[in-house]
Each structure stands twice: as structure tokens, then as C-alpha cells.
Amino acid sequence: MSTSRRGLLGAALGGAVGLSSATAAHAASWQQKWAPSASGNGLGAFETVEDDRADSHPAGQPHIYATGDNWHFTMHKVDRDTSTDRQRQEVTGLRNGSGSNYLKWTEGQTWRVTYSMYIPSSLKATTTFTHIMQMKQPGNGTSPIVVQSLRRVNGVQTIELKLAIDDILVGRTALEPLHNKWIDVDFQIKVGNGSAGSVRWILKNGSTTVIDKSKTGVDTFLADRVRPKWGIYRSLGDTSGSLQDCYLLLTNLRGYQLV
């Protein structure tokens, strides 16, 4: 099966969460702020790259790299993070240009990322956490705010989106039908403290909408700012025997702000 992707999830999919339709139609629109390419920007598309930061598997490096139109994340069973009960190969942030020229998602703002992902059947859901996208406050030891995860539920492989601060499930759907094909992701977040935040999560398989779920009146802010992360971040505590060498592909990453 081909692992190149040319389609792009349209920026017109759905409206902004947390706004009345009248307000959104009259005053706000999505403006594209980030449109990197793997072939043109490589890993320079991101604020930081966390590739085997514990130097646990030099022979497997690089674990994160650009190839053709895709960003490729490899995870080996032997890879270890600085916390040795888990594995992490991730990138963070939305960089435009060089230096400190990256986008900062701050309280009160509404942001959206669209992209396509290819999850092979070797990247399985687990009984403990396997995150493939996170929203976090930057800094060591900070807790996740939102997680897109591969989780086994009563033995069934699923993909889900959760608000981690209050452990709120936004949505969940079966993973196995999405294995070994390109899936489009549309994620929207209003950055808000307490009950001022909202999220929307859409997955599409070709022209079919697999899931479209929203939550409003929720907490999506800790401090400083919110920063997206992509890659594979998983616990070694899985009890289903699902951990194996695997990879994840991303392409057509786009970032928009509601202004």
C-alpha cells in the first residue's frame, strides 16, 4: 500500500467551536498561519524535535525524519525515554522560519490544525497510554491538556480524544478500520481557563466522516501557552502484547487561527 499522500483536508470543514454561528459568520474566519512541507522544511517545520533524547538507541537514529512528502516517526521496542518506563519520539510546535519564529497559542485564542496520518497495523492500541498527538504547556514536567490516543477498551483497539486535565472523553472510535490507510484529522481548540475552553475533533476516511465530536465549557489552559506535539509517546506498561517496532507518518500539516 502506498504511503504517500496528496490530498488535504479542506479548511472549510466545520465551524469554530465555542462561538455562536452569527458571531462566527459576521466577525471571524480561519486564517492560515502555518503550511510547511516535509520536502521543503524538513524538521525545521517544528519548534523542537525530541528524537531519542535519552540516547537509548543510537543505532536506530534518526527516529524522526522527513522523507518525500511525509514526516516519519519510528519507534523500536528497545527505545527508552529519560523516564525509562515509557518511550517518546515527538516533535513540538509550529515553526515559521528560523530562531524563535514559532506560533504561540495563548489564552483566549482559537486555533486549528489539519493534517493526514498513516497508522500502520504495527502501531497498535495499548492498555496503557499511547499518544500520537498532545496539547501541552511547554516545559519539563508539565501535564498534557488534550491527548489523541490509541487505547484498548475491553480488548478493542480504539482511537480517542480526551481532555486530560479533567479526564473528559471527547470521542472514541474503532482503530482497526483506520489501520494502513491515510486518515484526515481536523482538530480545533479554543484556549480557555476553567470553563472557557472548547475543542472539536474530526476524523475522515476519504469522503467518509468517521467521527465529529465537540466539547464546550471545558478547561484547555494551564499556564503560559498551549503547544501541539505529534509523534509516538507510549507507556511500556501495556498488558495486551501490543508493543512492537512500528512507525507513524504525517503529511499536509496546516495551522489556522480564528481571527
- What tens digit of pLDDT does each residue of 81-128 get? 999 999 999 999 999 977 779 999 999 999 999 999 999 999 999 999
Q: Does the structure show a pLDDT above 60 at 11?
A: no
- In terms of phi and psi (left: phi > 0; alpha: psi -120 to 50; beta: otherwise), the region of 206 is left
Q: Does the structure show a pLDDT above 70 at 38?
A: yes
Q: Band of the pLDDT at 13, cuts 50, 70, 90?
A: very low
pTM for the structure as a whole: 0.91
The torsion of the CA quartet 184, 213, 208, 173, rounded to 10 degrees, works out to: 90
Q: At 143, phi and psi to the nearest 5?
A: -85, 150
Using CA atoms, how far residue 259 sits from 8, 28, 90, 254, in Å, is 22, 5, 29, 16
How far apart are alpha carbons 65 and 72 in whole angstroms?
A: 5
Predicted pLDDT at 9:
46
What sign does the CA torsion over 172, 173, 175, 179 have? negative
> What are the chain's domains?
35-258 (2.60.120.200)
145, 131 Cβ separation under 8 angstroms:
no
Predicted pLDDT at 98:
73
Q: Does the structure show a pLDDT above 60 at 12?
A: no
Q: Band of the pLDDT at 26, cuts 50, 70, 90?
A: low
